Structure 1
Amino acid sequence: MKVLVIGGGGREHALVWSLLKSPQVDQVVCAPGNGGIAQIARCIPVDVNNLDSMVQVVEAERPALTVIGPEVPLSLGIVDELTRRNLRVFGPTQAAARLESSKAFAKEFMQRHGIPTAAYAVCTSLDEVRNQLSHFTLPVVVKADGLAAGKGVVICETRLEAETAAAEMFSGALLGTTETEIVLEEFLTGEELSFFALCDGKHAAAIASAQDHKRVGEGDTGPNTGGMGAYSTDGLTTTAMRDWLTESVAQKVVDGMASEGTPFKGILFCGIMMTPRGPMVLEFNTRFGDPETQAILLRMETDVLDLCNASIDGTADALDIKMHPGASVCVIAASGGYPGKYASGKLIQGLPAQPSENVVVFHSGTAIKDGQLVTAGGRVLAITSMAPDLRDALDLAYAQLAKISFDGMQFRRDIGHRALEPK
């Protein structure tokens, strides 16, 4: 069968790579794809910010299944439009995707359905921010309501910092788009966890857990990014905690969305803070995360196509989702200056001719120019590896990364450091 993947980042490269391993799939097409995806699948130009453009591509290709990678197409209603045309598609509807596209909606939803999360206030003006700040202890978290590619969260040590961050979100100075609502949130401490569940509108089934590294600098310093690396191991959660997260978070989301008339199908990514008061939800994503997906899919034994079909057909509870034992890691090689301004078009050298069984270089932001592979984004490559334990997986990834170069390349050398520190 033919599968079309929408998107062009590292997550989509990992999805294409995984789908091509399925014995049920004989062709994968990606729109728009990138320089790495083009080496293993046919790529078609498309604007992922333009709903009509994406629909036209799917209608022209007529795949047996369309898999939506990024959040923007989901927020635009791509699943709704394809479903109306009787085209099979994996992902949540526009209404269900509000769990990610609106932080205010997600917080209020969690409050309605008894899902543990930090104390918060939704504000529609700077005056309201000033009034509500008196109810929070410092530091306080200021969040943009809408999609912000992982960069709409500011941890503020003072009231002035919080007011400034809110003002810049309202004006558009911070993110380039104006916010009509922002969320003030209690600052939580603890270990962060990315928990992924497969949802089919009625059931939630645990897939795997990972831990992301959001800050650009080693030791978790510097500004937030879309993610500088991630790891996934057997020991990130106990069986009891995995069951609790499935039942008390993911299944409650599925039940709550169904009760509100907006059934949730697709991937539910639960950003969790393991606080002294217990696990609390920081945010939801309504699709595979990036770079966690690269690490998780390398470990996955279950056919990815079976995940998609179970979600669409309402059989997630009957699917046996299996992961390879051990550990996997993903280390991001980013452009110099990222997450701020950066230059593209830098020649990439030293990539392996073929992926090995345990090390795969997924492309996040690359392009082919004059026959050569060049940088075309802030996050450029995702060096991903798998091994029986985390240290060995890290050694494999960093050994591969040492052979790769492009002008200005930066990466974190401490991915997985929290798991390796003596307890």
Structure 2
Amino acid sequence: MSKILIRGAKVLGGEPQDVLIDGEIIERVGAGLPDDDALVVEAEGKVLLPGLVDLHTHLREPGREDSETVLTGTRAAASGGYTAVFAMANTFPVADTAGVVEQVYRLGQEHGYCDVQPIGAVTVGLEGKKLAELGAMHESAAGVTVFSDDGKCVDDAVMMRRALEYVKAFGGVVAQHAQEPRLTEGAQMNEGVVSAELGLGGWPAVAEESIIARDVLLAEHVGSRVHICHLSTAGSVEIVRWAKSRGIDVTAEVTPHHLLLTDELVRTYNPVYKVNPPLRTERDVLALREALADGTIDIVATDHAPHPHEDKDCEWGAAAMGMVGLETALSVVQETMVTTGLLDWAGVADRMSFKPAKIGRAAGHGRPVSAGEPANLTLVDTAYRGSVDPAGFASRSRNTPYEGRELPGRVTHTWLRGKATLVDGKLT
């Protein structure tokens, strides 16, 4: 059946409306629409959002299929309400050539659970010594516009300047993992009271803030776009706020886990809380929430970082850094931003769909829920509240920091260009 009628949904949290999908397109939006022999989805009390877009996902393929694949990662994305994800370049081999980004792009097309837009590496092998094939990746079938050495910082100022100059020619953006490596050697967690008490190597806020300060100045000098990955400190917020006040073309993201969790959790020595950048203080968490609400931080991005069991179920010092996040992101944002009154659902749509699609130039995504637009949609039961059970995840990995935690909201349906990828909470 090519027509679907979503009946009585609160579009972006507003008044209940019906949404009629015909094929890949939204045909009509309004109250009391006839079903026209369509498949009817009863959505009374639920919130309908544009399909979510994640600008920062690790799909691991090629090379680390033991932790995630494009198939399992996009299934996780659909489960979380995403219709498009941007796949980071730190694969094996690194996505630093047209051939590798095209491989990832085509795998996404084949599996069909969400659109996959590869992110190209800034430097060859993520080594920071030589620019990667930025132009060739942009001109490839994948049409790469976002470049990042995420997992590593482009710490050489000359290299960063050259990258910004290069991508300016085609309107690209460099997404920086802000971490001064010399200030974080041996770092295990946020530098502060807790690290001192636990005797773990501290990761100072200035290691992030100094790189952001340098890069916004470089972006201003070059007249290019820079995006700050997983911003995590109150000081970083102030630097980005200052840069925007000067008209510098900078955008920034925050992860769900940095909106909710603090370094106090590291007292458990549970490696599930080990992440890069590290969990920060309650003061930082509150500053990040306020910055997301007032627009200083533009978007929420998951930094979905799957790892196999053996890489996390070990002593803290040997454990890999990272958390899975695609399937819990919207619930954490509801808990930290909607329940607290800092954002309404229209604001959530802005930070998790409209703006990330604009930054990454994801064609057909982040569009209004209106007639004539692609039917990329997410239906959310916002009244639901339940305990997180990673055993039910679609992701191949289970390294979630929320196991057993009660969170609100549940994605019940996801549509990618009118095709249901999730129905009643189950993948199609």
TM-score class normalised by the smaller sequence: 0.3 to 0.5
- TM-score, normalisation: structure 1: 0.33
Q: Which has the higher strand share?
A: 1
**Structure with greater contact order relative to length (CA < 8 Å, sep ≥ 6):** 2
